[in-house]
Structure 1
């Protein structure tokens, strides 16, 4: 089944000026903010021994944080102690 456009015979064609007016009558374009690309995330998988995982789980239970958050905090603290951060 083919769909055909209705014929426009007898209709007045819009002038270019009218077309431009309609195009530019919309809302103004969104204001783009500069994006800081310095904080991109890197995703990877990590495998750790079960005994180490159990020690981490025991330590993080005191703070009620996720493994991810606990590991990030631990890594940050170690880098700060070493003066690398």
Structure 2
């Protein structure tokens, strides 16, 4: 019969008291300024009132391209601002 040595148990590693203290103090704190995530701008939402005659003219024009009113109006606004040099 072979006799084996008992497996040596490593002593548990004690965390550095300074590190432990910093983790307790900073728990729940916001990250330092260099790690702050950039602010993401959200799209603006609003309602718009259009005169019935203008709406009919828009609908007639957009039917050729089969796009929604929203998409057609956004594209028209973008094209106008690009022509005027206000949008790059």
TM-score, length basis structure 1: 0.56
| Structure 1 residues 36 and 59, CA gap change in structure 2 (3 angstroms) | farther
> Given the alignment of the two structures, is residue 50 of structure 1 paired with residue 59 of structure 2, yes or no?
no
TM-score, length basis structure 2: 0.54
Q: Where do 4+ consecutive residues of structure 1 move more than 3 Å?
A: none
Structure 2: gaps of 5 or more residues? 1-11, 13-36
Larger gyration radius, structure 1 or structure 2: 2
Compute the displacement of 1:37 (Å): 1.3
| Structure 1 residues 35 and 47, CA gap change in structure 2 (3 angstroms) | same
The match for 1:14 is none
